[in-house]
Amino acid sequence: MDERIQSFEELIKSDRETNSHDEWQGTFLEYLEKVKVEPGLPQLSHARVYDLIIRHGTTDIPESENRPSPIKGITKTYNFFSEDFFGIEKAIAQIVRYFHSASLKGEESRQVLYLMGPVGSGKTSLVEKIESLLEDSEPFYAIDGCPMHEEPLHLIPRHLRKEFEKMLGTHIEGDLCPVCRFRLEEEYGGRYEDVPVSTQRFSKRHRVGIGIVPPVDPNNQDTSVLIGSEDISKLDLYSEGDPRVLDLNGALNVANRGICEFIEVFKNDTEYLHAMITATQEKVIPAPGRHGLVYCDICIAAHSNEAEWQKFKGDHTNEAILDRIVVGKVPYNRRLSEDVKIYDKIIENSDFQAHIAPHTLEVASMFALLSRLEQTSKCDLMTKLKIYNGEEVIEKGKTKKIDIAELREETKREGMDGISTRFVMKALDNALSDNIDGNCINPISVREALVAMVRESELGDDTRKRYLEFLQDTLHKEYLEKLEKEITKAFVFAYEEQAEALFQNYLDHAEAFVNKSKVKDRSTGEELEPDDGFLKSIEEQIAIIGSAAEGFRQDVIAYLWSSSRRGVTISYTSYEPLKLAIEKKLMSSVRELSRIVTRATTRDAEQTGKYDAMVQNLLDNGYCTSCVDTILKYAANNLWKD
């Protein structure tokens, strides 16, 4: 929308102008001229959706050399989806691939797209997103007054189609619906060139080009929901077989040209599903009563959760239907960075307005992810979580070498079970309702809310026990580590600079040690022996002791050399093992101070000053007065217990 628009009136006017620009009305003859200029106009539904997706562009996933893409086998993402969906690139790629091959009129154009996954994995949202794609697109051309807003080219009689196709440079597919066929004869005396054509907009609410089929009570499955019905009141007026009695207002009728969504599809009776299958496979739907078959052009997208799918699949009488379904798996996301984005998005779109303390969503996400990950013999679950997230995990002073691709390969059904997005959102809400006054949620309150919810849940005993362990043990430890680092950062004046200074100093001394040379003091220029005590004080932070130290120092220097050879500037964060050691060193340097000053009773004036400065630092870094209090009390009780 134009940013210069200031008033409501202007906004309305501008919108109307833009819309009227797209609108068109004319005769079929005039429409033919339009198609001649633009042979792509009479697009079939799958091709339309695919083109619209592609029009939003794609983004290549950079192939970083040392971090294999966590989205194996995928080289690009689709911008249209990536604004709203996180961590399910593979599922999206599968959906786009379906529309692509269907747009090329391959077998898939005659199959149902079926999204299957655990609850809350985004199936409904994905289909809705595709529907919004149509709603936001430019209008399409249809026979004026047709209940199925059909493609005007259907008016061309069979015997002339070859010739028209040649002249128009486009393929003509489909036949008139009974209503239009009747009107053509009765109202236009067969002069199809005079039939009015107009533009129509896709609209879910107005049921134009988008049809929705909710699950229907199996005992009361009236196919009129799908294919319309005969209007009983008109049966007296017209003879049987007169199309004027037809109400072609079923979901499949209105979805013509666009998309029809089947919610919880397998809750429906098999008989009911046959109408759906015929609509895709044969591209026809039965007209109610004795009106034969009606051509249709619909993308059918169905979804349900896995249990329904397994039940359906288990019944061999469903084979014919199964054969006509393209399954798109939509598992839960398993990457931390992406999971946090999901909650960010949901919160942004909601009325949730509380303050969210740093690491809150991260902690909640970690729990969800731990519940979704499958055990591996290669590492513990928290390590797996971090590796999936592209983080480096340090063990014995070395980056743990576990191939993400291998981890993924050994999984069986990862992402199909575990805690859902909605469960986490409920926990965030619950945490808030426990702290309405503070109007703030934090990692501690969210973890408590999660514990309470897991305790009350209907989960099996084993699962509940496992989940509580994640919350009370794994996450507890993980969060304390984060918290200590956070408080250290707030305590240490100019944290980054101090870390950098330690890093440079370590490099100087380690280099001299490895080369058996001297260290030149940076300020005095004095030549000194490498300070073994200092080196050790850093190394012991990550349990590098005794004979291991020499190897570690050599590794660091080798890293330094290779970086400088490649012209890469390095900082204390460059070499993960050393970064960890330096951070721990800084932590231990203020541990004693932290222990004393976070206890209000023992603070003297000087310590109070330090304490206040630290609190201010935390406030500057995203905490509010309510949560800063909570986390410091928590730290005092858990990190620095006497």
Ligand X SMILES: Nc1ncnc2c1ncn2[C@@H]1O[C@H](COP(=O)(O)OP(=O)(O)OP(=O)(O)O)[C@@H](O)[C@H]1O
Q: Given the rule CB under 6 A, which residues bind ligand X?
A: 84-88, 117, 119-125, 305, 333, 342, 346, 421-422
Q: Which does 86 bind (CB under 5 to 8 A by kind): ligand X, Mg ion, none?
A: ligand X
Q: Which does 333 bind (CB under 5 to 8 A by kind): ligand X, Mg ion, none?
A: ligand X
How does DSSP classify residue 247? E
Q: Which does 626 bind (CB under 5 to 8 A by kind): ligand X, Mg ion, none?
A: none
| CB closer to ligand X, 294 vs 342 | 342
CA 132/CA 330 separation, integer angstroms: 19
| CB closer to Mg ion, 58 vs 124 | 124
Choose among 38, 16, 119, 14: nearest CA to 416. Answer: 119
| CB closer to ligand X, 371 vs 421 | 421
Q: Which residues make Cβ contacts (< 8 Å) with residue 72, sequence separation at least 6?
A: 404, 405, 408
* From 116-124, 188-196, 277-285, 288-296, span contacting Mg ion (CB under 5 A): 116-124
| CB closer to ligand X, 422 vs 520 | 422
Q: Contact at 8 Å (CB) between 627 and 440?
A: yes
Q: Is 259 helix (H, G, I), strand (E, B) or coil?
A: strand
Q: Which does 70 bind (CB under 5 to 8 A by kind): ligand X, Mg ion, none?
A: none
| Per CB under 5 A, 420 contacts Mg ion | no
Taking CB positions, which residue lies at the least distance from Mg ion?
Answer: 124
| CB closer to ligand X, 87 vs 258 | 87
Q: Which residues make Cβ contacts (< 8 Å) with residue 108, sequence separation at least 6?
A: 98, 101, 102, 326
CA 502/CA 514 separation, integer angstroms: 18
Q: Please, what is the minimum distance in Å from the beta carbon of residue 121 to Mg ion? A: 9
| CB closer to ligand X, 347 vs 596 | 347
| Residue 62: burial class (beta carbons within 10 Å; 0-12, 13-18, 19+) | exposed
Q: Please, what is the minimum distance in Å from the beta carbon of residue 417 to ligand X? A: 13
CA 420/CA 401 separation, integer angstroms: 30
Choose among 260, 283, 284, 281: nearest CA to 323. Answer: 281
Q: Which does 121 bind (CB under 5 to 8 A by kind): Mg ion, ligand X, none?
A: ligand X
Q: How many residues bind Mg ion (CB under 5 A)?
A: 1
The encoded tokens of residue 576 equal 């993960």
Q: Which does 346 bind (CB under 5 to 8 A by kind): Mg ion, ligand X, none?
A: ligand X
Q: Contact at 8 Å (CB) between 227 and 286?
A: yes
Q: Which does 438 bind (CB under 5 to 8 A by kind): ligand X, Mg ion, none?
A: none
Question: Strands, E, within 397-551: which ranges?
Answer: 398-399, 440-441, 519-520, 527-528
Q: Please, what is the minimum distance in Å from the beta carbon of residue 76 to ligand X? A: 18
Q: Please, what is the minimum distance in Å from the beta carbon of residue 496 to ligand X? A: 33
Choose among 452, 481, 482: nearest CA to 468. Answer: 452
Choose among 421, 435, 450, 470: nearest CA to 120. Answer: 421
| CB closer to ligand X, 112 vs 294 | 112
String marking each residue 122-141 x if it binds Mg ion according to CB under 5 A = --x-----------------
Q: Please, what is the minimum distance in Å from the beta carbon of residue 122 to ligand X? A: 3
| CB closer to ligand X, 90 vs 464 | 90
| CB closer to ligand X, 185 vs 344 | 344
The encoded tokens of residue 214 equal 């909710």
Q: Which does 119 bind (CB under 5 to 8 A by kind): ligand X, Mg ion, none?
A: ligand X
Q: Please, what is the minimum distance in Å from the beta carbon of residue 90 to Mg ion? A: 19
DSSP-based helix, strand, coil % in the chain, nearest 5: 55, 10, 35
Q: Please, what is the minimum distance in Å from the beta carbon of residue 123 to Mg ion? A: 5
Q: Please, what is the minimum distance in Å from the beta carbon of residue 368 to Mg ion? A: 18
Q: Which does 170 bind (CB under 5 to 8 A by kind): ligand X, Mg ion, none?
A: none
| Residue 111: burial class (beta carbons within 10 Å; 0-12, 13-18, 19+) | buried
| CB closer to Mg ion, 120 vs 443 | 120
Binding site for Mg ion (CB under 5 A): 124
